[in-house]
Amino acid sequence: MNLAGFFIFLAAAGLLWSRNMIYAVWYLAAEGILLGVMVGASGPVTWLTGLVGIATLAIKAGLIPVALHRMMKTWPSEFRQDHPLPLWAYFVAILLVLAVGHVIHLLAPAGITLHPELFFYGLASIHLGLLMIVARRHVLSQVASLVGIENGLVVLAASVAGSLPTFVELGMLMDLTIAISLLVWMSHHIHRQFNTTDVAALRRLRG
């Protein structure tokens, strides 16, 4: 589980640094595969864990990346690139990771977490996703960051509780599917209406 969490953290960093949205889709697919592996390794193999693992793979490694990729393929190539990451974001990312490491050091004596390393990877992935929302301007960067944050929350929950109840995991997957479906639909209409993928352009909608 710790190894899968480590690679999820690396994928979250890749999401933040990547300008090419095609690569971002691949990072999300990789996170989905790793989360599916984590679900399968979180406890005894039963039909319930198998169901959650298959649902995780189908939605996070299949449905979401495929939907984003198919929509992008209809856009000209210039709309598949994000703006360069601001210089300040690099420093903030380093500070956030160091801050998470400090939090782990403070929580270690309390024994709150079952897997301290996994807690670090999950919390760091969440922080990088939040930074991505602030630092990136591509509309699909915002969508990818929300998925990345949800993936980080799953890793964080696994580090504290070992595994979530089946109905909670399935409920989160259903909520994520509905939310991403709406966001993909909105992204498509934003691009068609304004001929841009820059969320800063939406400021013109202010009355």
**What is the pTM for the complete model shown?**
0.88
Query: 197 vs 105, 192, 200, CA distance in Å?
Result: 41, 9, 9
Average pLDDT, the chain: 84
For the chain, the farthest-separated pair of C-alpha atoms sits apart, in whole angstroms, at 55
pLDDT in tens, 164-182: 667 777 888 888 888 888 8
Report the Cα 149 to chain-centroid distance in Å.
Answer: 4
Return the closest-CA partner of residue 28 out of 54, 66, 81, 2: 66
Length in residues, the chain = 207
Cα-Cα end-to-end distance for the chain:
49
Q: What is the pLDDT of residue 50?
A: 79
- Quote helix, strand, coil % in the chain, to nearest 5: 85, 0, 15
Q: What is the pLDDT of residue 106?
A: 75
Instruction: Provide the domain count of the chain.
Output: 1
Q: What is the pLDDT of residue 42?
A: 66
pLDDT at 204 over 70: no
Could you count the other beta carbons within 10 Å of the beta carbon of residue 79?
17
Cα gap 84→110, rounded to integer Å: 41
DSSP H stretches of helix in 59-165: 64-73, 87-107, 116-135, 139-161
| Rounded mean pLDDT, 90-94 | 93
Torsion of Cα atoms, 120 then 33 then 90 then 180, to 10°: -110
Q: What is the pLDDT of residue 88?
A: 93
pLDDT in tens, 58-84: 999 999 999 999 888 888 888 888 888
pLDDT at 158 over 60: yes
| Rounded mean pLDDT, 33-47 | 76
Query: 110 vs 103, 104, 192, CA distance in Å?
Result: 12, 10, 52
Supply the range of the domain harboring residue 187: 2-205
Report the Cα 59 to chain-centroid distance in Å.
Answer: 13
Across 40-44, 131-135, 169-173, 192-196, the highest mean pLDDT is recorded for 131-135
| Rounded mean pLDDT, 27-31 | 93
pLDDT band of residue 198 (cuts 50, 70, 90) is: confident
Helix (H, G, I), strand (E, B) or coil at 20: strand
- By the 8 A CB rule, do 197 and 79 touch? yes
Return the closest-CA partner of residue 145 out of 153, 157, 136: 136
pLDDT in tens, 112-154: 777 788 889 999 999 999 999 999 988 889 899 999 999 998 8
